[in-house]
Chains A and B, each alone.
Chain A
Amino acid sequence: MTDMSKKIAEMYSLEQLSAQSSYIHNLHPLVKIVSTAVYILCLLSFDRYTFLGMVPYALYPLLVIFLAKIPISIIFKRTLIALPFCLFAGISNVFIDRETAVQIGMFAISFGMLSLFVILLRTLLCVAAVLILVAVTPFRELTEELRRLHLPNIFITLLEMIYRYIGVLLEEAATMFTAYRLRSRFGKGVEMKHMGSFVGQLLLRSFDRAERVYGAMKCRGYALHDFNHIRNPFTLGDWCFLLVTCGIFLLLRWYASPYNSQGVF
């Protein structure tokens, strides 16, 4: 298996996890979407210095990973992909906002550092929550629920197409790259002078393949169904999970808010 094929397999490994069965997997998809949305909204609503207020939220991903029996390494590795971006976004705060916020022994933590930690924690928790949602809910169920929530159809169709065709694109790239490598001078990456024609051919081939895939989709009734499935009603377990998780998220948020005199900061 080439590196590219491994990447494709890795990309779909989250989706494969969603086919498992556990208490979390068996929850109604809408419950999982709403819980995740409330979780993210709560995290986003914190101000830039409320680090400790967000820490208890880290328990939610851990708890769901445990209940869903998902390998923590898969989520952790993918979450780290976001790390450089949030580090880049927050690093300047350290140099701009130097006023001391907390003194721990001889270590002084500035407001800039505090805001960097908040950005890091917030981003990693939000990304982890979304990854967990994908790992415990089949992609089709997610998009179907989004349709039921009346999100614009064009947005959801684009999401579906990107998700489906990114694999097609990578597969074509993997095939071309193997063929290239076997006949190239150095047997490694694509040389810069060949990059233009390689990428051009890749796009043309992917376009051609995408047309065939779309033909196969149409032959199996794609775009003919108006998604009028009767929504499965929530079970008692669904209601319990939704109320408990959202209740705790909101309670933690209220506890950390400035309106609560005993807030963390």
Chain B
Amino acid sequence: MLKIANLTVTYPDETIGIDNVSLSVKDGDSVALIGANGAGKTSLIMSLVGALPSSGSVFAEGIKLSADTLNEIRTKIGVVFQDPDDQLFMPTIYENIAFGLYNMGVEEDEIKLRIDACLALLNITRLRDKTALKISGGEKRLVALATVLVMEPSIMLFDEPTAFLDPKARRNLIQVLNALPHTKLIATHDLSFAAETCSRSILIKNGKIFADGLSENVLYDIELMDQCGVEAIGANGRQLK
């Protein structure tokens, strides 16, 4: 379970990124974070793992985020970044996936087993010994997912997971995400993707929660979405104002 209470993120220039946000996500739930550019989706995600300084409280699996619990929280919460290149900094795919496990102190034999299982789960075993420079955008996205998945977090945060993906790779990612039993918080502009992967959607505007409800209600509400500068599913360019 992920619980956020009165979370506020203030940037060094005094701009407020997240403004007193409170929400909770039940175990196994998939929640979409929707909002226009600069609404605060990425800030919210990064603050949940202590990558951005924040005030308020974050609880993951009952553990409160603090300087003392940072290590533990980062084993509970995995983050898949918007640009997979940011996560693929080691020479080979195997080493990229193993990076987090080495840091967790997992033994070599266990690392090999976990990586092979993870690669097989995502159907990318063929990439094991390749370099990240020679794989496609869709494959990079799956490898970035594997780097986090292999650490077996209970909560997974995704920042724009469909960015740079072609329709086939996007479809593949939807299937992979729907098969994962983890608690998921997905920040995305891709509303149809959100509708297919998340039962609940949270609409963010200027760092605050503007709406929170079932995806089938929120994502198709043209008026509601228009107020946040987002085009609802089926709006086809229509705007109320």
Contact = CB atoms under 8 A, between A and B. Distances in A.
A229 B95 contact: no
Contacts of B99: 217, 220, 222
B103 A221 contact: yes
B74 A220 contact: yes
B89 A168 contact: yes
Contacts of A212: 81, 83, 86
A12 B89 contact: no
A93 interface: no
Given A9-B131, A225-B105, A167 B89 contact: yes
B74 A219 contact: yes
Contacts of B75: 221
Q: For chain B, what secondary structure do more than half of its interface residues adopt (helix, strand, loop), or is it mixed?
A: helix
A216 B103 contact: no
Given A222-B103, A229-B107, A216 B81 contact: yes
B49 interface: yes
A8 B100 CA distance: 23
Contact of A224 (B71, B81, B91, B129): B71
Interface in A132-175: 138-140, 164, 167-168, 171
Contacts of B107: 229
A98 interface: no
A144 to B, nearest CB: 8
A31 to B, nearest CB: 16
Contacts of A140: 90, 95, 98, 102
A220 B100 contact: yes
Contacts of B104: 221, 225
B133 A5 contact: yes
Interface size class of A (residues with CB under 8 A): 20 to 34
A16 B131 contact: yes
Nearest to A218: B51
Interface in B34-52: 46, 49, 51
Nearest to A139: B91
A209 B92 contact: no
A220 B103 contact: yes
A221 B95 contact: no
A215 interface: yes
Contacts of B94: 19
A167 B133 CA distance: 10
Interface in B78-128: 78-79, 81, 83, 85-87, 89-92, 94-95, 98-100, 102-105, 107-108
Contact of A16 (B100, B102, B129): B129
B151 interface: yes
Given A12-B131, A16-B131, A225-B105, A217 B89 contact: yes
Q: How large, as a class, is the contact surface on chain B? A: 35 or more
Given A16-B92, A164-B90, A225-B102, A215 B46 contact: yes
Interface in B55-70: 70
Contacts of A19: 92, 94-95, 129
Contacts of A218: 51, 74
Interface in A1-47: 5, 8-9, 12-13, 15-16, 19-20
B147 interface: yes
B168 interface: no
A46 to B, nearest CB: 34
B148 interface: yes
B168 to A, nearest CB: 23
Given A16-B92, A168-B89, A224 B74 contact: yes
Contacts of B238: none
Given A218-B51, A219-B74, A224-B71, A15 B102 contact: no
Given A212-B83, A215-B51, A219-B51, A15 B91 contact: yes
Contact of B86 (A215, A224, A228): A215
A96 interface: no
Question: Closest 8 CB pairs between A and B?
Answer: A221-B103, A220-B100, A15-B91, A12-B91, A225-B103, A212-B86, A19-B129, A216-B87
13 contacts: A9-B131, A12-B91, A164-B89, A168-B89, A171-B133, A216-B81, A216-B86, A216-B87, A219-B49, A219-B79, A221-B104, A225-B102, A225-B103
Given A215-B86, A216-B79, A220-B151, 14 more contacts: A13-B131, A15-B91, A16-B92, A16-B129, A171-B133, A212-B81, A212-B83, A213-B89, A217-B99, A219-B51, A219-B78, A224-B70, A224-B71, A225-B105
